[in-house]
Amino acid sequence: MPQALHEQSASALVPQLERREITAEQLVRACLDRIDAREGDVQAWEYLAADSALEQARQLDRRPVQGLLHGIPIAVKDLFDTADMPTTYGSPIYASHKPAADAAAVALCRAQGALMLGKTVTTEFATFKPGKTRNPHGLTHTPGGSSSGSAAAVADCMVPLAFASQTAASVIRPAAFCGVVGYKPSYGMVNRTGVKALSDSLDTIGFIARSVGDVALFAAATTSDRGLLQLDVSHAPRIALCHTHEWPHADEDTHKAFEHAARVLALAGMPIRELQLPLLFSQLMQAQKEIMAFDLVRSLAHERLRQPHLLSEHLNQVLDSGLEVPIERHYANLQLAQSARGMVSNAFGAFEVLLAPSAIGEAPDTLTQTGDPVFSRVWTLLGLPCVHLPFFKGRTGMPVGLQVVGRHGEDKVVLRVAKWLMERLAPV
């Protein structure tokens, strides 16, 4: 039987919308019907703009095709400002906040014909306190964070595309836990204007979808770089397995995902190569933690001074830890990060990308925490492009996968290899 509209990829929907085989209004209604059926369980949405999305869809259906995302519904993480919807940043401090303008990324997608369906749940200021969202693959399991609602909404076929952001692991980890594709571009590739700032040296806008082609389409529309759509591989990609210095944290499920990937590559005639990162990189996870805490206490200075009682105990502890980082230590951490970035190209050697862990394993069976960001902190600090590939199941049937990591600025390479790998790492 043909897929229902709400189950189809954005890449499949766009040509149907362009040929007027379906209407934007039909697509939005299909998504809203799915949300109506499932939101009571999954709780992915902070705000749903059903009426305005339908009206905008009807307007689009009367106009010529507008852009790469004409008629495609998008979920917006509630860390991004939206002029026509509330933006709470996951905090009661901003419960009634209504921004005057869209975030740049949101506005750019609207210009490409996209429809903003609503705001998805984020953790408190995109940090560690969970929101209400549940993992659609197991309602007692965390969906990850901080882009929890975005990952859950896409995984449950409520919407084909969702905005995300990452300061530690907030694109890759929820994508891993919810079994969808998460793409964290190279640092600085996507304009961050209008997204609540946490760490100027770490914050990165990202994309969540159900296929590599869809995150590439989403990114192309947001950056105006249509070269991201060219996903054909002209040669056998040069891929190395990289367990990273954090490998002792990985559990049996991530071990098995690596073993499966190695078998698939071997069957494809690829030599199995493992890459050891320089010893200096073993210091980067701690540096990322300290840089993030140092920046966070300054980015949230107003909230901390004016309404500390409305911040969670955990967040207040993180902010206190940021105050304890001496400025000399912060400068040393920034220098360490800069030195490591200068080593990345040589560290990769002849390999185009690395295949590395995305998370410790399956999503933990709890809603009181969002999981450990251990396997993304270093890549975020280095500003490297990463794509999570969902291709495996853990011991209890929850999603598991690995992430493709490339050199800074080589997002096109990373996306091409990610698509090539996903076509071979078929779900098991």
Q: Which residues are marked as active site? A: 77, 146, 170
Q: Which of 342, 339, 345, 290 has the alpha carbon at shortest distance from 318?
A: 290
Copy the structure tokens of residue 265: 């590559």
d(CA 287, CA 135): 30
Question: 89 — alpha (psi -120 to 50), left (phi > 0) or beta?
Answer: left
Helix (H, G, I), strand (E, B) or coil at 388: strand
Copy the structure tokens of residue 390: 């969902």
Residues 6+ apart with CB under 8 A from 308: 316
* Whether 156 contacts 414, CB under 8 Å: no
Residues 6+ apart with CB under 8 A from 291: 199, 201, 202, 330, 333, 334, 337, 381
| Beta strands 239-241 and 181-184, pairing class | unpaired
Residues 6+ apart with CB under 8 A from 331: none
* Whether 424 contacts 223, CB under 8 Å: no
* Whether 130 contacts 315, CB under 8 Å: no
Work out the burial of residue 55: count CB atoms within 10 Å of its CB; fewer than 13 is exposed, 13-18 middle, 19 or more buried: middle
Residue carrying the six token digits 């990114």: 219
Question: 255 — alpha (psi -120 to 50), left (phi > 0) or beta?
Answer: alpha
User: Where does 246-374 show beta strands of DSSP type E?
Assistant: 353-357
187: amino acid identity, one letter:
Y
